[in-house]
C-alpha cells in the first residue's frame, strides 16, 4: 500500500508551474518538470486522488518503466524486461493507444506501438505460461513517450481526457478546454471573494471552472476513469476514500459574484445548461450582453476571457473594433484587472495598453498569448463581500 510509483501528468505547454503547484498541494513529491509534463511520485492512492482532484492535467499515467533505447531491438528487450505481470492480469485487454516521439532515433509511432505490444505479450506468455490471451477483461491502455531517446512506458489510468469533466454537454463555437480555463484562472490572483466577469463566455467554461474552484468542487467527481476496473492491484476502497475526501472538502455555503456575458442568446442558454450540469448554476449570473455594455459598480474585479481570434477571414475585419471595445470597457472599470487569451497579434494595440505580462500558451495546436493587465491591489481592509 505504501509502495511508491512515478506518474506522468501532461498539461498545456506554458502552464507546467500551475500543475506542479496543484500536485504539491495534494502532498506529492515532484520528480521533474519538462515541457508540457510534470512527473511526480506517490502511492497507489495518487491514481484516484490525481484523477479526481487535479484541474489542469489531461491525464494521469502510471510509469511502468523508463529506459534509453536507440534501436527497435533495444526497445523490445527493455520493454519485455518490465514487470508487466504486476499490473496486467491474464485476461487484460491491453493495447498501445498512443506513441509520441520527439528528437529521438526511433520516430515511427506505428512501429513503436507494435513492438511495445509484442514485447508485453512475450513477457506475459512467460509469466502466465500461456501462448494466447483472450483479452476479454478490463481495459489497460498503454502510452509510450520517447524524448531524446529516453522511453517512458506508461499505463493510462484516466481514459477519456480529464478536460471532459462531464458537464459540457453542449458547446458553443471554438470553446476553451476545461483544463486550460482552470489553469489560466489559477494563474491569476483571483479568489472567491473577488468579482469575476467573462464578457465572451461562450459555453460558460471560465465562469463554471471559477465557480468550481471557489466552492472547492473536485473536477473529477462526476465521471468515470479507466483505472476503476484495475481491481487486481488498485483496491476499490482507494476510489471510495478519494470521493469521500472530495465530498468533505466542498464548501456549499460559499458566496461568489461570477458573471458570464455573451452577445448571442443561444450561447447563453448553452452556458446556463452546462452550469446546471456542473451543479454551479446558482453561483453564476449569465446574461445576453455585448462587451460594449460591460460595466460594474464594484471595485477590484477581474475580467478573464477568451474573445474571438478571427480565425476565419470574414471575422478578421471586425477584430480591431472588437478589441477597442474591450479596452474601452476595461478603462471604465476602476481598479479592475484584465486577462485575455487570444492569438490576435494586434490585441494590445487595440486594447490600448501594453500588457504587464504575457505568457505564450498553446490552445490545442494554436499558439496564443495570455495577456495580463493588472489593476491595483486592494487595500488590506478591503473585503469584497462586506465593502460593496
Mean pLDDT, the chain cut into blocks of 10 residues (388 residues total): 91 95 98 96 98 98 98 98 98 97 96 98 97 95 98 98 90 82 97 96 96 97 96 97 97 92 94 95 97 93 91 74 96 96 95 96 86 92 53
Tally the residues of the chain: 388
pLDDT at residue 387, rounded to an integer: 40
Which alpha helices (H) appear in 279-371, and where do they start and end?
Answer: 313-316, 319-332, 347-351
In this structure, what C-alpha cell is assigned to residue 92?
A: 487484460
What does DSSP say about strands 61-68 and 150-156: parallel, antiparallel, or unpaired?
antiparallel
Q: Give the pLDDT score at 365.
A: 78
Q: Please list, in sequence order, all residues whose beta carbon lies within 8 angstroms of the beta carbon of residue 348, skipping any fewer than 6 positions away.
A: 354, 355, 371
- Closest C-alpha among 181, 370, 375, 197 to residue 289: 197
Q: How many helices (H) does the chain have, and how many strands (E)?
A: 12, 14
**In which residue are the cell numbers 505580462 written?**
357
Distances (CA, A) of 231 to 60, 86, 127, 236: 17, 12, 19, 7
Separation between Cα atoms, residue 233 and residue 225, nearest integer Å = 15
State whether residue 224 is helix, strand or coil. Answer: coil
Amino acid at each position: 500500500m505504501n509502495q511508491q510509483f512515478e506518474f506522468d501528468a501532461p498539461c498545456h505547454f506554458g502552464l507546467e508551474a500551475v500543475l506542479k503547484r496543484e500536485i504539491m498541494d495534494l502532498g506529492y513529491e515532484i520528480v521533474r518538470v519538462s515541457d508540457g509534463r510534470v512527473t511526480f511520485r506517490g502511492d497507489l492512492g495518487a491514481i484516484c486522488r490525481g484523477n479526481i482532484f487535479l484541474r489542469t492535467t489531461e491525464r494521469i499515467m502510471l510509469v511502468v518503466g523508463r529506459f534509453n533505447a536507440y534501436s527497435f531491438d533495444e526497445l523490445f528487450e527493455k520493454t519485455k524486461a518490465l514487470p508487466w505481470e504486476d499490473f496486467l492480469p491474464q485476461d487484460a485487454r491491453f493495447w498501445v493507444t498512443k506513441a509520441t516521439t520527439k528528437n529521438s532515433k526511433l520516430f515511427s509511432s506505428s512501429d513503436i506501438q507494435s513492438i511495445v505490444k509484442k514485447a508485453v505479450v512475450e513477457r506475459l506468455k512467460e509469466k502466465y505460461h500461456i501462448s494466447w490471451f483472450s483479452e476479454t477483461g478490463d481495459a489497460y491502455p498503454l502510452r509510450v513517450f520517447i524524448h531524446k531517446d529516453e522511453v517512458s512506458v506508461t499505463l493510462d489510468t484516466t481514459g477519456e481526457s480529464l478536460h471532459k469533466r462531464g458537464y459540457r454537454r453542449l458547446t458553443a463555437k471554438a470553446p476553451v478546454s476545461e483544463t486550460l480555463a482552470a489553469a489560466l484562472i489559477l494563474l491569476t490572483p483571483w479568489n472567491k471573494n473577488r468579482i469575476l466577469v467573462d464578457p465572451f463566455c461562450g459555453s460558460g467554461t471560465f465562469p463554471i471552472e471559477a465557480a468550481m474552484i471557489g466552492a472547492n468542487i473536485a473536477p473529477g467527481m462526476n465521471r468515470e476513469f479507466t483505472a476503476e476496473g484495475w481491481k487486481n492491484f488498485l483496491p476499490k476502497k482507494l476510489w471510495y476514500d478519494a470521493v469521500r475526501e472530495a465530498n468533505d472538502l466542498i464548501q456549499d455555503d460559499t458566496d461568489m459574484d461570477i458573471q458570464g456575458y455573451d452577445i448571442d442568446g443561444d450561447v447563453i442558454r448553452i452556458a446556463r445548461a452546462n452550469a446546471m450540469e456542473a451543479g454551479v448554476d446558482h453561483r453564476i449570473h449569465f446574461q445576453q450582453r455585448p462587451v460594449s455594455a460591460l460595466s460594474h459598480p464594484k471595485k477590484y474585479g477581474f475580467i478573464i476571457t477568451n474573445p474571438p481570434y478571427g480565425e476565419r477571414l470574414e471575422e478578421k475585419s471586425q477584430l480591431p473594433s472588437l478589441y477597442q471595445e474591450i479596452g474601452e470597457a476595461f478603462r471604465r472599470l476602476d481598479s479592475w484587472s484584465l486577462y485575455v487569451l487570444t492569438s490576435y497579434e494586434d490585441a494590445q494595440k487595440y486594447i490600448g495598453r501594453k500588457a504587464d505580462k504575457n505568457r505564450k500558451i498553446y490552445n490545442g495546436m494554436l499558439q496564443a498569448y495570455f495577456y495580463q493587465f493588472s489593476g491595483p491591489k486592494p487595500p488590506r481592509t478591503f473585503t469584497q463581500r462586506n465593502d460593496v
